[in-house]
Amino acid sequence: MLQTLTDRLTAIFQRLRSRGKLTETDVTEVLREVRVALLEADANLQVVKDFVAAVRVRAIGAEVLESLTPAQAVVAIVRDGLIELLGGERAPLRFAPTGVTPVMLVGLQGSGKTTQAAKLALLWKNEGRRPLLVACDVRRPAAVEQLAVLGAQVGVPVYRESAGDAAGIAQRALAHARQVGHAVAIFDTAGRQQIDEPMMEELVRVRAAIEPLETLLVVDAMTGQEAVKVATAFHARVPLSGSILTKLDGDARGGAALSIRAATGVPVKFIGVGEKTDALEPLYPERLASRILGMGDVLTLIEKSQRAFDEKQAKALAAKVRKASFTLQDFLDQARQMKRLGSMAELVSLIPGAGKLMAGREVDERALSRSEAIICSMTPAERADPRVLNASRRRRIAAGSGTSVQDVNQLVKQFEASRTLMKDFARSKSARPPKT
């Protein structure tokens, strides 16, 4: 996510740090490079101009040029500028104090509205709300079926009708939600390949029928500057309260994320970071700005960990670490939970400083899958005690997992090294004098 932009900005500021004292000419040169990097990321031209101008005013001040660490001061100013560009602070969704909160999703066909509807439903279901999905895309029967399938996957009911106009369906669905006692109703509306008047008229009628508390534009982040044009056109006819940027995990540039709020005034409330139904994150401007500048995002990493790891399992694992009784089965359980956190590249981007350590090296996304396959090819006895793994057993495991004997040897070696560290840790803890 945003990797190209992150790499460019990291390289720019790395060169800046090597210069020591800065002159106004140095700052101008750096900001020129930042401007090019943002334009190459497909950010909106006017947004980039305004951003660079605002940063320049602060960066050529005495507190920067006379600072003992001027490079760090410039990076901090750029970070503050990015945060402001992204909206300053998180824009939370509004919920009605009582009754049903209608949430209307709009956007072009292919932007991912139906999938995002299911993601929102799962998110709010996990928060203890009672969501209802509403199929209002009557022009594309496949969309109704897709929403029904996704609703079943996330365990959220779907209101659907075989025929009727979108506004009428929406109105009846809202009445049903009130009668049954749902807290949130998510309306998946129709889209087109491009903006046209009939689509807009239909959306206007749906909006008038349900009076949504939130109207969210779902927009493909990979469309770059086109996302700003789409948001402007929708906002003119169907006033938006926010947007959801989808496919941000597949967009190495990130221009849409940086442009849409500044160009339209519509805050980005969520970002889609994967295809799975739980791959939806609230947008925190300060966190995303830190990730763009390669500073990591510890808070998001903690939140992901809390969602992915079972508390009881974590306590049981901690007890095994203390007793140095950690087995390959425990290693397998941890690997499977790690996979639920997302891709390894994404996790690395959340760890401060990890980007520099991995510079020029690719993250091996298949490493966990290889380890899982190797351990699954072992018997319970072999997982409990790898010392029984002789040459013939290792050849059998390699053949069964589709790996090589060298891969098996490497995994066992890594496991034994980690268990040795755990034993040393346990001994050092027990050797400490008690606190008085």
Considering 58-67, 123-132, 318-327, the range whose residues carry the highest mean pLDDT is 123-132
Would the pLDDT of 110 be above 90? Answer: no
Better-predicted residue by pLDDT, 408 or 2: 408
Which tens digits make up the pLDDT trace of 375-402? 999 999 999 888 899 999 999 999 999 9
Answer whether residue 429 shows pLDDT above 60: no
Q: What are phi and psi of 434, to 5 degrees?
A: -65, 150
Provide the residue ranges of all domains of the chain, joining segments of one domain with +.
3-85, 101-283, 302-431
Q: Which of 299, 292, 297 is nearest to 258 (CA)?
A: 292
Q: Can you give the pLDDT at residue 420?
A: 77
Looking at the predicted structure, is the pLDDT value of residue 237 above 70? Answer: yes
Decide which of 1.10.760.10, 3.40.50.720, 1.10.260.30, 3.40.50.2030 is the CATH code for 302-431.
1.10.260.30
210 and 104 in contact (C-beta within 8 Å)? Answer: yes
| b/e code 123-162 from CB counts within 10 Å (16+ = b) | bbbeeeebbbbbbbbbeeeebbebbeebbeebebbbbbee
pLDDT of 357 > 50? The answer is: no
Which pLDDT tens digit goes with each residue over 74-105? 888 888 888 888 888 888 889 999 999 999 99
Counting Cβ atoms within 10 Å, is residue 323 exposed (0-12), middle (13-18) or buried (19+)?
exposed
**Average pLDDT of the residues in 358-363:** 52
Q: Residues 242, 266: contact at Cβ < 8 Å?
A: yes
pLDDT bin (cut points 50, 70, 90) of residue 131 is: very high
The Cα–Cα gap between 93 and 167 comes to 23
Contact (CB, 8 A) for 239 and 131: no
pLDDT beyond 50 at 349:
yes
User: Is residue 21 very low, low, confident or very high in pLDDT (cuts 50, 70, 90)?
Assistant: confident
The yes-or-no verdict on residue 1 having pLDDT over 60 is no
On average, the pLDDT of the chain sits at 81
Rounded CA-CA distance 419/412 in Å is 10
Range in 3-7, 40-44, 246-250, 295-299 with the lowest mean pLDDT: 295-299
The whole-number pLDDT of residue 378 equals 93
CATH entry, 101-283, from 3.40.50.1100, 3.30.300.30, 3.40.50.300, 3.50.50.60: 3.40.50.300
Residue 279 has pLDDT above 60, yes or no: yes
pLDDT one-digit tens code per residue, 239-249? 999 999 888 77
Q: Is the pLDDT of residue 181 over 50?
A: yes
pLDDT score, position 108:
87
Checking if the pLDDT of 148 tops 60, the result is: yes
Which one is predicted more confidently, 312 or 420? 420
Query: Are 76 and 34 spatial neighbours (Cβ–Cβ below 8 Å)?
Result: no
Q: How far apart are CA 304 and CA 108, in angstroms?
A: 30
pLDDT score at 170: 94
Please report which confidence band the pLDDT of residue 289 belongs to, taking 50, 70 and 90 as the band edges. Answer: confident
Q: Is the pLDDT of residue 254 over 70?
A: no
Q: Could you tell me the sign of the dihedral formed by the alpha carbons of 389, 393, 399, 404, in that order? A: positive
Q: DSSP secondary-structure letter at 248?
A: G
Query: pLDDT-derived band of residue 358, with 50, 70 and 90 as boundaries?
Result: very low
Highest mean pLDDT among 155-159, 232-236, 291-295: 155-159
Residue 363 has pLDDT above 60, yes or no: no
Instruction: Determine the 3-state secondary structure of 83 from DSSP.
Output: helix
Lowest-confidence pick of 101-115, 266-280, 307-321, 404-418: 307-321
Q: Which amino acid is at 299?
A: L
Q: Is the pLDDT of residue 424 over 60?
A: yes
Pure H helices in 181-296: 197-210, 225-237, 255-264, 285-292
**Token pair of 116 as six digits:** 């995002």
Q: Round to whole Å and give the CA distance between 431 and 98.
A: 58
For the chain, the first-to-last Cα distance in angstroms comes to: 50
Looking at residues 341-358, what average pLDDT do you find? 57
pLDDT digits (tens, 9 = 90+) for 199-219: 889 999 999 999 999 999 998
pLDDT at 18 over 90: no
Cβ count near 376 (within 10 Å): 12
CATH number corresponding to 3-85: 1.20.120.140
Residue 425 has pLDDT above 80, yes or no: no
Please tell me which of 166-175, 279-288, 416-425 the model is most confident about, judged by mean pLDDT: 166-175
**Least confident range of 116-125, 133-142, 337-346, 366-375:** 337-346
Residue with the bigger pLDDT between 234 and 72: it is 234
Q: What is the mean pLDDT of residues 278-303?
A: 74
pLDDT for 408 equals: 93
Q: What residues contact 101, with CB distance under 8 A and at least 6 apart?
A: 94, 95, 183, 184, 185, 213, 214
pLDDT at 265: 86
Query: What's the angle, vertex CA 16, arms to CA 25 and CA 261, rounded to 5?
Result: 85
What is the β-pairing status of strands 184-188 and 242-246? unpaired
